[in-house]
Chains A and B, each alone.
Chain A
Amino acid sequence: MTMTRGTKALFTVLALVVGAFIYVPLAIILINSFSIDRVLSWPPSGLTLEWWSKAFQNEGVRSAFATSVQVGLIATVIALVLGTLLALALGRYRFFGREAISLLVVLPIALPGIVTGIALNNVFTTFLGGLTLATLVTGHATFCIVVVFNNALARVRRLGVSVQEASSDLGAGAWTTFRLVTFPLMRSALVAGAILAFGLSFDEIIVTTFTAGPGVTTLPIWIYQNLFRPNQAPVVNVVAATLVVISVIPIYIAQRYSNTDERGAGLL
Chain B
Amino acid sequence: MTTTTAPAGLGYRHPWIRIVGLLGAPLAWLVVVYLGSLAALFVTAFWTVDDFTGQLVHTFTLANFREFFTNPAYLGTIARTLSIAICVTILCLILAMPVALFMARVASDRWRPLLVALVLTPLWASYLVKVYAWRAMLQPEHGVIAWLLQPLHWSGPGYGYVGIVITLTYLWLPYMILPVYAGLSRLPQSLLDASADLGAGNARTLRTVVVPLVWPSIVAGSVFTFSLSLGDYITAQIVGGKVTMLGNVVQTTYVNNLPFAAAVATVPVIIVLLYLAAVRRAGALDQL
Q: Please list the residues of chain A having a beta carbon within 8 angstroms of any beta carbon in chain B.
A: 1-3, 7-8, 11-12, 14-15, 18-19, 21-26, 28-29, 32, 39-43, 81-83, 85-86, 88-89, 93, 95, 101, 104-105, 107-108, 110-116, 118-123, 126, 138, 141-142, 145, 168, 171-174, 177, 199, 202-206, 220, 223-224, 227, 236, 240, 243-244, 247-248, 250-252, 255, 260, 263-264, 267-268
Q: From B120, B178, B230, name the one whose CB has the most chain A CB atoms within 10 angstroms.
A: B120
How many residue pairs link A and B with beta carbons under 8 A? The number is 267
Most chain B CB inside 10 Å of its own CB: which residue of A15, A24, A86, A141: A15
Q: With A108-B34, A122-B41, A142-B30 given, is the CB distance from A28 to B23 under 8 Å?
A: no
- Which residues of A sit under 8 angstroms from B125, Cβ to Cβ? 26, 243-244, 247
Total interface residues on B, using CB and 8 Å?
Answer: 104
Contact B265 A114 (CB under 8 A): yes
Contacting residues, chain A, for B1 (C-beta < 8 A): 171
Instruction: List, in ascending order, chain A residues with CB within 8 A of B22's CB.
Output: 85-86, 88-89
Residue from the list B126, B170, B196, B258 in contact with A220, Cβ < 8 A: B126
Asked whether A22 and B122 contact (CB < 8 A) given A15-B98, A40-B139, the answer is yes
Known: A42-B139, A112-B230. 10 other contacts (CB 8 A): A14-B98, A26-B122, A86-B26, A101-B27, A104-B30, A105-B30, A168-B12, A173-B7, A174-B18, A255-B117
Name B's A-contacting residues (CB within 8 A): 1, 3, 6-9, 11-12, 15-16, 18-19, 22-23, 25-27, 29-31, 33-38, 40-41, 44, 95-96, 98-99, 101-103, 105-106, 113, 116-130, 132-137, 139, 141-144, 146-147, 170, 173-175, 178-179, 182, 192-193, 195-196, 202, 205-206, 209-210, 224, 227-228, 230-234, 238, 247, 250-251, 254, 258, 261-262, 265, 268-269, 272, 288
CB distance from B227 to the nearest CB of A (A): 7
Instruction: Indicate if the CB atoms of B128 and A223 lie closer than 8 Å.
Output: yes
Most buried by A among B1, B34, B261: B34
Whether B233 contacts A25 by the Cβ 8 Å rule is no
Shortest A9–chain B CB gap in Å is 9
- Report chain B residues within 8 Å CB of A83: 26
**Chain B interface helix/strand/loop/mixed:** helix
Check if A114 sits within 8 Å of B250, measured CB to CB: yes
Contact B99 A19 (CB under 8 A): yes
Chain B residues near A202 (CB-CB < 8 A): 126
Q: How far is the CA of A207 from the CA of B125 in the complex (A)?
A: 18
Contact in complex: A28, B137 (CB < 8 Å): yes
Q: Main secondary structure on chain A at its contact with chain B?
A: helix
Least distance between A85 CB and chain B CB atoms (Å): 5
- B234 A15 Cβ-Cβ under 8 A: no
* CA gap between A29 and B122 in the complex, in Å: 13
Asked if A93 contacts B6 (CB within 8 A), the reply is no
Question: Which residues in A have their C-beta under 8 angstroms from that of B34?
Answer: 104, 107-108, 116, 119-120, 142
In Å, the complex CA distance between A105 and B170 comes to: 27
Q: Which residues of A contact B7 (CB under 8 A)?
A: 173-174
Task: Give the complex CA separation of A126 and B43 in angstroms.
Answer: 14
- Residue of A43, A101, A142, A206 near B29 (CB, 8 A) is A142
> Given A114-B250, A118-B254, A142-B30, do A1 and B38 touch, yes or no (CB 8 Å)?
no
**Residue in chain A with minimal CB distance to B187:** A1
Q: Is A142 in contact with B33, judged by CB distance below 8 angstroms?
A: yes
* Residues of chain A within 8 A of B174, CB atoms compared: 22
A40 near B26: Cβ-Cβ < 8 Å: no
Q: In the bound complex, how far is the Cα of B34 from the Cα of A95, in angstroms?
A: 22
A260 and chain B: residue at smallest CB distance: B113
